[in-house]
Structure 1
Amino acid sequence: MTLARTLRQALTIARRDFTATVFTPIFLLVLFAPLIMGAFGAVGGMGAASVADARADKARIVAIVPAAATRAVTAADDRLRTAFRRDEEQPPALVTLAPDGRGEAQARAAFDAKGYEASAVLYGPLDAPRILYGSRGKRAADYLGLLAGDALAAQRLGGALPRVTVTKTPVTGSRAGGGAASYRQSASFAVFGVFLLNLFLASQVVGTMAEERNNKVIEVLAAAVPLESVFLGKLLGMFGVAILFVGFWATIVAKLGTFLPPDVARALALQTAVGLPAFGLVFFTYFTMAYLLLGSAFLVVGALASSPREIQMLSLPISIIQMAMLALALAGTAHPDSAIGWLARIFPLSSPFAMAGRAATEPALWPHLAAIAWQLLWVSLFITVGARLFRRGVLQSGSAKPRWFRRKPAVTPLT
């Protein structure tokens, strides 16, 4: 009966916090924050891309070869460029110059040409070419070396290389995606996904708790219901806000995914050891566990902080701990059978991240049941300890010291 009453009180507070957060104009800014950040990133990326394109339009690779070899070098350049996709960085356009007898001096002079910006310059015989390159021309220099070898082979074979007809057939299935390598890639995605969602959403709990403490609302709630119910209710209310946020963007991403070309969709598809339906359920469960663990820690921070400055000072160590847990989980995912892998799965703050990665690489499901029970235990401990800290440190109720530190009252003997 007591447990049912505690849950009922917690759900009442959760509904209050959820309504107060969602039905406000500010929530629209939170909901569309990824779109706003993406827009700023896109603007910055477009600016950087325009600068890079302007530089790429002037960049050239120069081959100083005799007239007899110019055709072979140009044909070799056309052949080698077919290996680059449109979305890959291609070598700069080729410029051929006739040698004037100055050798290296002519090659160095090509870097000072006004009509283009030379990245790398080739001169000398094709069987022993010399290449000069600038600060960003190392790859262009490698390409010129391949170009010289291809052109020399074509010359020695009579002016043209034999044509090869290639038949390309895409292969689908788990082995086509790389097997264990694809599983590890999905594991890294799971770890980063859980981390980024919690980094963005769990920190919002701090502000709500601190604001209600300053407005004395939290004291009114604490007078009506137990503090454990207050903490659990606020955690569930903000978790409902997080679910609304994740569901909104997950729906949009899923709809946008239907418009992707089939090749792109196959390349972006996750491949997991437990299967996609089970992986989705496990991912959501560990996102929930990580949110409850981190959210309960942020609740304690918001309850103990009395000003925004204190919130910032207390939130910084938690953010550093989050980054450390991410590094620990990634290391554990890369080496699952090592000591660091076991530590990442057992330590409560890193356990949701590491176990989400394990779901992508290991098909067994029973370890996840044990991990979820272990994490729920720590969530209850965090909420209980946070409520007691708040009661003793802020409300000044209860004993400020443990029982074994209290002094016994002095007894005066009767005379």
Structure 2
Amino acid sequence: MTEGMNEIVRGALVIARRDFNALIRSRAFIFFLITPVIMLGIALAAGNVGSHMAKPDLARTIAVAMPDGDVARLIAAQRRLKAIVPDFPMLETGRAESASGDLLLAGSLRSPVLHADAQDAQALGDEVRLLVDTARQSEDAVAAPLAIRLKPARPHPAAPVDRSATAQLGQMCLFLATMLLAGMVLSNLVEEKANKIIEILTASIPMEAIFLGKLFAMLGMALIAIAVWTALGGAIALLAGSALPAVPAPAVGWPLFVALGFVYFSSAYLLLGSLYLGIGAMAATVRDVQTLSMPVSMGQVGIFLFANYATARPGTLIEGVACLFPFSSPFALMARAAQFPALWPHLVLLLWQALCTWLIIRAGTAMFRRNVMKSRGMGRRAGGRRGRVQPS
């Protein structure tokens, strides 16, 4: 038993080193790194334009709660200023609060009071003073200057709600990275089957070692891509500074949450990649790969939605099922790391995911021997006569 496992490990290291070097040194890998960055930039630009088109600028509307005569004079003053400054704020009358609930001009023209938070008071304070001074032009009596009363800071949402948003963000990033990178495993084995290379490898290396080596070579390439994209995202975040929306801190803290993100990406990649390897081993052409992989890809979308649904119900039976089912477990546990500080469930379920990955690989290699190797008359040679593995 020990000798067989040593042979599998040695063979997997040979295959992994061979495939990893071939992947990293190819020109396609550079284009692979650049393409998602370009797509993300286009998506962010389109989203920014769409948000400006879809949402009115609520901070440019000022609610007015004054006597009718003062309101009429303010409206007339606003129209005159609007003709000179087209983006001058609009007025909203008849309500005690503005549409955004932040700006309210109350009192009277002789003693006006602007109720606003600190940010809006700094942005629109001068424009409100100009509006009041313009409306007072026909007034001879002495009037008090505009008084600004700052509203108290709004209370932050409860911690579970904040952490739920962080959990969903972590799940989304994990899902997108897995679906983007795991699909590359499919075509790798098909190419070597078409070139008859797989038949040479199986004569000297256990089939499990071939599957493991290819899987970990692709995982190494994927982790390099994730590290490059993470570093680029961190640089953008540092340059943007406070312009980015604040994300609530996860329960386990940011350093451990990011580390768990890499661990769960590796686990999800190995689980899905082992399944894809089995499909690639059974497929004869690239067209067969696309046909057989479509149900798996659609099922993975459903699994992600199930894990996302369970995230909103922590501590329930649904969340427990999502954590135990191997394909949804990385996504559910990623959310759990954002919501709960306990670490022991992660250690236990990571071992469970590793066991499931090995079982899927064994099942894939068994189907490959039975349906592919024996149909080519190589079942006895691949299963019995193997030479010593030589490092390449």
Where on the TM-score scale, by shorter chain, does this alignment land: which range? 0.7 to 0.9
**What's the C-alpha RMSD, in Å, of the aligned pairs?**
3.9
Structure 1 letter corresponding to 2:194: N
Q: Higher mean Cα deviation, 206-215 or 30-39?
A: 30-39
Structure 1 letter corresponding to 2:237: G
Residue deviations 1:39-93, cap 9 Å, x none? Answer: 443565587689x49x989xx99xxxx997443347799xxxxxxxxxxxxxx86
Aligned to 1:21, which of 17, 20, 23? 23
Are residues 1:218 and 2:203 paired? no
What's the counterpart of residue 231 of structure 2? 251
SS of the equivalent of 2:326 reads coil
Are residues 1:272 and 2:250 paired? yes
CA distance in 2: counterparts of 1:9 and 1:242, whole angstroms: 21
* Matched positions, count: 331
Change (3 A) 1:18 1:270: farther
SS of the equivalent of 2:149 reads coil
Structure 2 letter corresponding to 1:31: L
Aligned to 1:317, which of 271, 295, 300? 295
CA distance in 2: counterparts of 1:238 and 1:212, whole angstroms: 15
CA distance in 2: counterparts of 1:328 and 1:345, whole angstroms: 11
Alignment of 1:5-404 (within 5 A): 5-41=7-43, 44=46, 52=53, 69-73=71-75, 143=99, 154=107, 160-161=112-113, 163-166=147-150, 178-261=158-241, 263-264=242-243, 267-396=245-374, 398=379
CA distance in 2: counterparts of 1:196 and 1:127, whole angstroms: 48
Residue deviations 1:180-226, cap 9 Å, x none? Answer: 22221221122112111100011100011111111111121111201
Q: Higher mean Cα deviation, 68-77 or 177-186?
A: 68-77
Change (3 A) 1:75 1:4: farther
Structure 1: give runs of 5+ residues left out of the alignment: 78-91, 97-121, 129-141, 400-415
- Contact kept? 1:329, 1:354, Cα under 8 Å: yes
Residue deviations 1:355-407, cap 9 Å, x none? Answer: 111111111111111101111110000100011111111112559xxxxxxxx
Higher relative contact order (CA 8 A, sep 6+): 2
Structure 1 letter corresponding to 2:163: Y
CA distance in 1: counterparts of 2:255 and 2:56, whole angstroms: 45
Change (3 A) 1:94 1:252: closer
Deviation of 1:143 after TM superposition, in Å, equals 4.6
CA distance in 1: counterparts of 2:293 and 2:172, whole angstroms: 20
What's the counterpart of residue 110 of structure 1? none
- Contact kept? 2:168, 2:335, Cα under 8 Å: yes
Deviation of 1:26 after TM superposition, in Å, equals 1.0
Structure 2: give runs of 5+ residues left out of the alignment: 62-67, 80-86, 115-146, 381-392
Change (3 A) 1:67 1:277: closer
Change (3 A) 1:150 1:198: closer
Change (3 A) 1:47 1:190: closer
Change (3 A) 1:302 1:56: same
CA distance in 1: counterparts of 2:158 and 2:352, whole angstroms: 33
Change (3 A) 1:294 1:73: same
Deviation of 1:296 after TM superposition, in Å, equals 0.3
CA distance in 1: counterparts of 2:324 and 2:49, whole angstroms: 45
Q: Higher mean Cα deviation, 278-287 or 267-276?
A: 267-276
CA distance in 2: counterparts of 1:228 and 1:159, whole angstroms: 84
Residue deviations 1:214-249, cap 9 Å, x none? Answer: 111112111120110000000000001001101111
- Contact kept? 2:174, 2:331, Cα under 8 Å: yes
Deviation of 1:348 after TM superposition, in Å, equals 0.9
SS of the equivalent of 2:239 reads coil
Structure 1 length-normalised TM: 0.69
SS of the equivalent of 1:224 reads coil
Structure 2 length-normalised TM: 0.73
Deviation of 1:25 after TM superposition, in Å, equals 0.9
SS of the equivalent of 1:258 reads helix
Structure 1 letter corresponding to 2:342: A
